[in-house]
Structure 1
Amino acid sequence: MASTSSVKSSSPEDEFYNNLTLNLIQFLNNITRITNVTLHKQQPCERTAISTFEQRHNIFLPDDMKRFYLSTDGFTLHWCFQYAPNVVRRVGYINFPHLMQITLLRDYVELIHMSNTSPHAKKSPGSNDHRNVDKSNQQPNLNLRSKIFELSSILDVAKVCLIFETLESINPKIYLLETQSNKWQFLADSFTEYLRMCIAHLGLPYWELCFAHTCALPSWAEQIYLLVAPHLLEHNNNVTQSNRSLSCPRDPVVYNELDLSIFRTKQKCNKQTNKLNK
Structure 2
Amino acid sequence: MKTKTYMVTRFCENTKQSSFFEKKKKNISEMMAVPESDYMQAFLSISVGVVPYLEKLPGVSNVIVDERTPAERHQLLMWEQKNSCILPDDMKSFFMTTNGVKLSWCFKFDDDILPIGLMEVNSIDKLTKVCESKQAASDPTIADLQCDRAKDQTPLAKSVNGFPHFDGRSRIFELDACREYGKVCLVYHNTETGSPAQGAEVWFLDRSFRWHFLTDSFSEYFQMMLVHLGLPEWQYIFTDIGLSPQVQTWFHMFAPMRLVIDAEDKAKSVFQREGDTAAISEVTLDNNRVFKAKAEKRAKSGNQKKKANQNKSSASRTGPPSSSSRGR
**Aligned pair in 2 of structure 1 residues 18, 46: CA closer, same or farther (>3 Å)?**
same
145, 150, 159: which one aligns with 1:138: 159
SS in 1 for 2:185: strand
Q: Does 1:164 align with 2:188?
A: yes
Question: Which shifted more, 12-21 or 106-115?
Answer: 106-115
Q: Cα distance, 1:105 vs. partner?
A: 2.1
Match of 1:81 among 98, 103, 107: 107
CA distance in 1, matches of 2:146, 2:268: 24
Structure 1 pair 135–72 and aligned structure 2 pair: CA distance change class (3 A): same
Deviation at 1:38, TM superposition (A): 1.3
C-alpha distance in structure 2 between counterparts of 1:185 and 1:77, whole Å: 24
Give the CA deviation at 1:224.
1.1
Matches for 1:28-47 after TM superposition, within 5 Å: 28-47=54-73
Q: Where do residues 233-244 of structure 1 align in structure 2 (5 Å cutoff)? A: 233-239=259-265
SS of 2:157's partner is helix
- Is residue 53 of structure 1 aligned with residue 74 of structure 2? no
Q: In 2 relative to 1, CA 65–209 (structure 1 residues): closer, same or farther, beyond 3 Å?
A: same
- 1:176 is paired with a residue whose SS is strand
Q: 1:105 to 1:12 in 2, by over 3 A?
A: closer
Deviations 1:85-113 (A, max 9, x none): x2221101101112121221245556547
Contact kept? 1:210, 1:240, Cα under 8 Å: no
RCO higher in structure (CA 8 A, sep ≥6): 2
Q: Are the aligned partners of 2:102 and 2:118 in contact in 1 as well (CA < 8 Å)?
A: yes
- Contact kept, 8 Å, 1:212 with 1:240, in 2: the verdict is no
Asked if 1:70 is matched to 2:96, the reply is yes
- In structure 2, what is the equivalent of residue 187 of structure 1? 214
Local SS of the residue matching 1:136: coil
Q: Is the 8 A contact 1:213 1:240 kept in 2?
A: no
Query: Partners in 2 of 1:223 and 1:114 — Cα distance?
Result: 34
Q: Deviations over 1:15-56 (max 9, x none)?
A: 211111100011112211112211111011122221221111
- Matching of residue 153 in structure 1 with residue 177 in structure 2: yes
Aligned to 1:23: 49
Q: 5+ residue gaps in structure 2?
A: 1-34, 132-140, 275-282, 291-328
Matched, 1:213 2:237: no
Count of matched residue pairs? 230
Distance 1:45 1:155 in 2: 24
Moved more, 62-71 or 235-244: 235-244
Unpaired runs of 5+ residues, structure 1, are 1-9, 123-133, 248-252, 258-278
Distance in 2 between residues matched to 1:139 and 1:109, nearest whole Å: 21
Q: Percent identity?
A: 25
- Give me the TM-score of the superposition, normalised by structure 2: 0.60
Shift of 1:199: 0.6
Q: Name the SS for the 1:81 alignment partner.
A: strand
Task: Give distance in 1, aligned partners of 2:78 and 2:49.
Answer: 33
Q: CA deviation at 1:115?
A: 6.4
Question: Structure 1 length as normaliser, TM-score?
Answer: 0.69
RMSD: 3.6
Between structure 1 and structure 2, the one with the greater Rg is: 2
Q: Deviations over 1:123-159 (max 9, x none)?
A: xxxxxxxxxxx98233643463311112223454432
